[in-house]
Amino acid sequence: MSQKFIKRNESFVCQNCGFFNTEDKNGSCRNHCAECLYSMHLDIYPGDRKSYCKSLMKPMYMEMKGDNIVIYHKCISCKILKKNKASREDNLSILYEEKK
């Protein structure tokens, strides 16, 4: 049933801040920048890279889900909202500060 989920864990240069992201050391999907938390709208289903949008996705807010932190990203172009699991390396203070 979850065949559509393709795991991607690749290094990339952030299109927003230019930070070089190495692959996630904990083995989860590195799909957003650890420094500014921006993501890219590349996928229709996680990892498929089939979206034609390819715009930046802005981190909006985060939520605790059990032991995990989920970051909600909104595409600056098509406004779609997606959630992504945060990595331990992520600079989550950006979202903490916005909540003040």
- Choices 5-13, 60-68, 69-77, 89-97 (CB under 5 A): range interacting with Zn ion: 69-77
6 or 13: CB nearest Zn ion: 13
Beta-carbon-side half-sphere exposure of residue 48 (alpha carbons within 13 Å): 11
Task: Give the integer Cα–Cα distance in Å for 28 and 45.
Answer: 16
54 or 65: CB nearest Zn ion: 54
Q: Give the contact letters, 38-67, x = binds to Zn ion (CB under 5 A), - = no.
A: x--x-----------x-x------------
Is residue 16 within the footprint of Zn ion (CB under 5 A)?
yes
Say how many residues touch Zn ion, by CB under 5 A: 14
Chain-centre distance for alpha carbon 89:
12
Is residue 78 within the footprint of Zn ion (CB under 5 A)?
yes
Token couple for 19: 């930070």
Task: Give the integer Cα–Cα distance in Å for 49 and 37.
Answer: 19
